[in-house]
Amino acid sequence: MDHLQISDLYSLEDYARLRADFRARVLEHKAHRKVALGDHVTLLFEDRLTMHYQIQEMLRAERIFEEAEIVAELEAYNPLIPDGTNWKATMLIEYPDVTERQAALQRLVGIEVAVWVQVAGCDPVYAIADEDLERTSDGKTSAVHFLRFELTETMVSSLKSGAGVTVGCGHPAYSFDSTLGDLVRESLIADLD
């Protein structure tokens, strides 16, 4: 997928006018890119549209209009756009209760490298996590991680021929898997063009 350029972005004024419709379109799109692993871990598979929305929201929230600052946002978020041979996801670890969340983040150290995807008939592919910076410190993991899953040509071919996909987590303290439904699977296959 192509990375976003300044010319792809809306000005702050245009975005203010278009935001409601753009947001509705992105939220509908995201609904087909979200995978729950149990009650506390969610993977949000990113693509060009989700990153366009994220950047627009950052520019809006921070009132960014200077070119150098816009370029910095593009440099921060473009790496989360799949490049045609991989899937990229934001992993959220969610516990509503603060005390429970703190205990879970200590218990779940290393969870980011225990997440995998498996195309039917192929070996699982484990996540390459947090390439931008280390997110585990002081004996606890972060509630947000950025994951990349590198797929082989055989996997891509199998997916395009109809193979199913399972996503899972094999951490000793948190083990779940989920077979992707057709809408999510088709949305993720679009990342492989």
* Per-residue pLDDT tens digits of the chain, which is 193 residues long: 689 999 999 999 999 999 999 999 999 999 999 999 999 999 999 999 999 999 999 999 999 999 999 999 999 999 999 999 999 999 999 999 999 999 999 999 999 999 999 999 999 999 999 877 676 777 899 999 999 999 999 999 999 999 999 999 999 999 999 999 999 999 999 999 8
Give the CA dihedral 173, 99, 135, 110, nearest 10 degrees: -10
| Domain boundaries, given as residue ranges, for the chain | 1-31+48-81, 33-46+82-193
pTM: 0.92
Instruction: Classify the phi-psi angles of 87: left when phi > 0, otherwise alpha if psi is within -120 to 50, otherwise beta.
Output: beta
Q: Indicate the SS3 state at residue 53.
A: helix
CATH of domain 33-46+82-193: 2.60.40
Picking from 146, 6, 3, the residue whose alpha carbon sits closest to that of residue 69 is: 6
Q: Which two tokens stand for residue 43?
A: 């993977």
Q: Helix, strand, coil % (nearest 5) of the chain?
A: 45, 25, 30
